[in-house]
Structure 1
Amino acid sequence: MFIQEWGFDLSKESSLNSATVKYRDFLLATASGKIEGVKGPGKLATPFEKTKVAAYTLGAMTPCMRLYAFLGKELQALLHPSESTHPYKKWIDNYSSEGFQGSALQTEDLLDKLSVSLTGEELDIIEKLYYQAMKLEIEFFCAQLLDQYTIVPLTKGHDPAADRLVIFSDFDLTCTVVDSSAILAEIAIITAPKFDQNQPENQIIRMSSADLRNTWGVLSKQYTEEYEQCIENILPSEKVEEFDYEGLCKALEQLSDFEKRANSRVIESGVLKGLNLDDIKRAGERLILQDGCASFFQNIVKNESLIADVHILSYCWCGDLIRSAFSSGMFLP
């Protein structure tokens, strides 16, 4: 129904990918009674034996119906009502339709009816078949090749000549493997004078390394406790049925206020006072980035046809550390 619209030539031979073959073979084996750990049914002489194999087969088929119905609804919710040019619109419309949703429910209802007479052991087999089928379905979707690299999820076609993307990314523990604020604190502690060490008169007076470590420990503990409390206060106590824009704005304001208070405590404590800029840059160059982070931003920066602004956010507020981390990856100037 959709193949020709997507530009596939049905007259040409094509090979099935391995994920498709695995699910097909799994369904055929189940329908013929060849189920792992279950003795073959032999000749299906009684209605009960026929019902049991039918239930097993339906248990292997139902996840396909349920997953497609779920994906159809989820993707339909992302499409703008006026969207008409999306390449998969008909696919989404079909699987989000009331007709298909009803078919999925009917399939599940039939499976329930066929399972009424089964034993507990036989119901466990259906559960395992359902799980295996869903796993194979997910593998099927993951195995599909992309026609083009996707930089960010888009709900409509992206025109590089006309559209400008604004990409925001968190830095700490999203781009990096470790928390960057802890690195700044460690630099301060390592480079701080010892307790009995005299400091030059022309330098900023700094806390001793022992005092710094104790102060940072107190600040870290306080941050963690207040952060958990802040998140607990923000999260709604009941399930949210629809997107609440105003509620989201208020939640982000609360989170922003919390971060400002936490940052102010760090500044007032003086734990980072007197840090050497070169030490910060060297630490940034040695920061380990998450797998795929460098290539993600490289694809954006090096794509001359893509108009995009990239913004990196971090609660450590140290721009030099962040710039050094990305410069070391050779994808930012």
Structure 2
Amino acid sequence: MASTSSSSSSKPPPPASSSSNPPPAVGNADGIAQTCWVKFRDEAIFALYTPLIVSLASGKLKVETFRHCIAQDVYFLELFATAFEFAEAYVLDNEAKDGIKELRKITRKKIQCVAREWRSDLIRDDATPNPATTKCTNFFLAITSGKIDGIKPSEKTKLAAYILGAITSCIRLNAYIGKEVRELFCEHETNHRYKKWIESYSSDSFQDFCLQTEKLLDKLSVALTVEELGIIERLYSQGIKQEIEFFLAQPVIEKAIVPLSGEHNLEERRLMIFSNFDLTCTCVDSGSTLADLTIETAPESDQIPIENQFARMTLSALRDNWKVIANKYRDGLEQCIEKLLLATEKAEKLNYEGLRKALEQVSDFEKEANLRVIESGVLKGLKLEDIREAGELLELQDGCMNFFQTIKKKNADVHVISYCWCGYYLIRSVFLTGGIDDLKVHANELEFEESLSTGGIMMKVQSPIDKVEAFDKILLESSGEGNDKKKAVSVYIGDAVGDLLCLLKADVGIVLAPIESLISVASHFGVKFVPLFTGVVKKQRECVEVEGADSSSTWKGLSGILYTASSWAEIHAFVFGS
């Protein structure tokens, strides 16, 4: 059945009134620095997944690369010091002027520290800025001189805020990367090759430096208009992008495991992306969307069927029926999962066959629940055009559409495997709004007569077993297309119990914000959960240590490990890069 957020795999939709509300937006009360970081944090994730940072975090980055990076980093620090000098000259408030002066002093001390720690054995005196560093230099010089769109050079006091907006993004990004990498290297080893660098950017002193910069940005921005705050947001985003370009420009010598799509030998391998739909791609489940649609278009009183039309339930009858269906499903699924967990012993290692057998009980339950929906007639009389329109308005998770649009640009194979009751018209309508017209959808389908739903459903994918059988069939057919014998490297993205078998069989199984029932069932059968970035760094270490290893082949299905991701942006960064 179509899934909802409160179930482990799927659930009939409740009425519209039960849909969860989106989280409130961050307001100006939080300050422009925090507002910008929340707004552009997904962009920062792309920096974390660059070959340079992943290789550095693994401890396997070549010294030659690190030497070059440190030399370029000195140019960055000099640039920040110069920018602070301009900002100090522009600002009129004495307290703010003193604050900027302190930031400039800290930056100068940082340059001296880098020189003391690294110059003797890593930094070449004859190093020159690379194109990415030069581009960043030009970006900051354009801000300090007021030569960017939306800024008037005569408004000197505002230039200080704009300069701080761009610098703050870079400092916050480095503080973020330092903390993320520090957590990993503390877990794995204390004798890390680049321990000093990691400690420098993850230290309390650098985090405090970042907070000082953000507080000054907030202070200088208090009197700015909405339009002027928009300029700061734009410069903040551009600052992060400049930093990412800097990371990407570093000459990483060793084989990098990211982005996943970039490491495939296209003569021998092909990337295949699989995804669940409900609540993996969407903010609300498609079943709830169809339920809401039946209620929104329901007649107020009994309808007499005319020729070529199906009688519709009244509004009150639909609400009552959906409530009964949803309650039976929710309670029944909870009992089903409790029963299968009690009936089997907890495994220390992956017990895939035991999990598959246990999920047969869930499959039987799902089929009974779907039959209940058909027999109730709640979907009868829905108009095809209304379903298409509902699909066009269905909200996707942040970053999801961009990910699928990138897949299209990369010409990678992509398949959506879903319990959705109306795959062709609903799911396709969702992605058509983003220009994606070649999506391969494997789902159930509503039955229609002259553009009206009969209330029946052509069942194709009802259960975890159906999903994994569809997954296996797609991979088998893909390996035999014409003369193309390329080995598939499969990525499956899901979030619920119904996705577990596919997640485990894929070379890379990524769980997007896993729900409690998925974790409990998977853990019971020996599945381990690892944060995606942690897994990537570990794989990078393994790839470098095994001479001649193909980085893409380090990912193998049925390993018993699933990778958790916080957002579609993180998945995008891992698979395709920036």
TM-score bucket (shorter structure): 0.5 to 0.7
Distance 2:352 2:273 in 1: 20
Alignment match, 2:400 = 293
CA offsets 1:175-196 (integer angstroms, 9 cap, x no match): 1111211111122222233324
Unmatched 5+ stretches in structure 2: 1-58, 78-105, 114-179, 193-201, 211-240, 249-255, 439-578
Question: Does the Cα contact within 8 Å between 1:4 and 1:10 map onto a contact in 2?
Answer: no
Aligned residue for 1:231? 337
Tell me, yes or no, if structure 1 residue 217 matches structure 2 residue 323. Answer: yes
Q: Distance in 2 between matches of 1:269 and 1:11?
A: 65
The amino acid of 1:246's aligned partner reads: E
**Partner AA of 1:210 in structure 2:** S
Residues 1:199 and 2:305 aligned together: yes
Aligned match for 1:14, one of 72, 75, 79: 72
Does residue 332 in structure 1 map to residue 390 in structure 2? no
Q: Which amino acid aligns with 1:216?
A: W
Q: How much has 1:233 moved relative to structure 2? A: 3.4
The letter for the 2-side match of 1:263 is N
CA change 1:310–1:282 in 2 (3 A) is same
* Post-superposition offset of 1:252: 3.4
- Alpha-carbon offset, residue 329 of structure 1: 1.8
SS at match of 1:13: helix
Q: Quick one: which of 425, 442, 449 aligns to 1:320?
A: 425
Q: Is residue 309 of structure 1 aligned with residue 426 of structure 2?
A: no
Separation (CA, whole Å) in 2 of partners of 1:231 and 1:186: 28
Report which of the two has the higher share of strand. Answer: 2
Kept in 1: contact 2:336–2:362 (CA 8 A): yes
Counterpart Cα distance in 2 of 1:277 and 1:286: 15
Q: Secondary structure at the match of 1:14?
A: helix
The equivalent residue for 1:167 is: 273
- What is the distance in 2 between the residues matched to 1:65 and 1:149? 20
In structure 1, runs of 5+ residues without a counterpart are: 29-62, 73-94, 105-130
Work out the CA distance in 2 between the residues paired with 1:269 and 1:291.
35
Question: CA shift at 1:318, angstroms?
Answer: 3.5
Structure 1 partner of 2:369: 262
Which residue number in structure 2 is paired with residue 247 of structure 1? 354
SS of residue in 2 equivalent to 1:164: strand
Cross-structure match for 1:272:
379
* CA positional deviation for 1:324: 0.4
Residue of structure 2 equivalent to 1:282: 389
Moved more, 275-284 or 227-236: 227-236
1:66-89 deviation line (CA, Å, top 9, x unaligned): 74264x5xxxxxxxxxxxxxxxxx
CA spacing shift, 1:238–1:3, aligned 2, 3 Å = same
Instruction: Quote the Cα distance in structure 1 between the aligned partners of 2:392 and 2:277.
Output: 14
RMSD value over aligned CA atoms?
A: 4.2
Q: Which residue of 1 aligns with 2:296?
A: 190
The answer (yes or no) to whether the contact 2:304–2:311 under 8 Å persists in 1 is no
Q: Is the 8 A contact 2:303 2:312 kept in 1?
A: no
Q: Is the 1:164–1:309 contact (alpha carbons within 8 Å) kept by the matching residues of 2?
A: no
Residues 119-160 of structure 1: CA deviation (Å, up to 9, x unaligned): xxxxxxxxxxxx987xx7xx9xxx9957599676x9x94323
Q: Does 1:4 align with 2:4?
A: no
C-alpha distance in structure 2 between counterparts of 1:151 and 1:325, whole Å: 27
CA distance in 2, matches of 1:322, 1:179: 11
* Cα distance in 1 between the residues matched to 2:437 and 2:309: 33
String of CA shifts for 1:8-42, please: whole Å, max 9, x gaps.
Answer: 55497131799xx99xx9xx9xxxxxxxxxxxxxx
Q: Distance in 1 between matches of 2:347 and 2:427?
A: 36
Report matched runs for 1:32-47 at 5 Å: none
Secondary structure (helix, strand or coil) at the match of 1:167 reads strand
User: Percent same amino acid among aligned pairs?
Assistant: 42
Q: Specify the structure having the higher radius of gyration (Cα).
A: 1
> In 2, are the aligned partners of 1:301 and 1:332 still within 8 Å (CA)?
no
CA distance in 2, matches of 1:250, 1:332: 37
Contact 1:206 1:274 in 2 (8 A): yes
**C-alpha separation between the residues in 1 aligned to 2:337 and 2:419?**
18
Secondary structure of 1:165 counterpart:
strand
Work out the CA distance in 2 between the residues paired with 1:267 and 1:11: 62
The verdict on how the C-alpha distance between 1:6 and 1:239 changes in structure 2, with shifts beyond 3 A counting, is farther
Q: How do 1:43-62 residues align onto structure 2 when only pairs under 5 Å count?
A: none
Alpha-carbon shift at residue 296 of structure 1 (Å): 0.7
- Change beyond 3 A, Cα 1:241–1:191: same
5 Å-filtered alignment, 1:20-169, equals 67-68=184-185, 70=187, 72=188, 147=248, 157-169=263-275
What amino acid maps onto 2:348 in structure 1?
E
Partner of residue 45, structure 1: none
Q: 1:213-260 CA distances to partner (integer Å, 9 max, x unpaired)?
A: 110110011111122223333447876421111122224333332222
- Are the equivalent residues in 1 in contact too, given 2:283–2:396 (CA < 8 A)? yes
CA distance in 1, matches of 2:308, 2:434: 36
Secondary structure of the structure 2 residue equivalent to 1:15: helix
Partner SS state of residue 416, structure 2:
strand
The whole-number CA distance in structure 1 between the counterparts of 2:357 and 2:289 is 31
1:164 to 1:195, Cα distance in 2 relative to 1, 3 A: same
| Cα separation, partners in 2 of 1:285 and 1:6, compared to 1, 3 Å | farther
Distance of 1:232 and 1:214 partners within structure 2: 27
What code does the residue aligned with 2:72 have? Answer: S
Contact 1:199–1:205 (8 Å) recurs in 2: yes
- TM-score normalised to structure 1 length: 0.56
Shift of 1:169: 1.2
Displacement of 1:203: 1.4
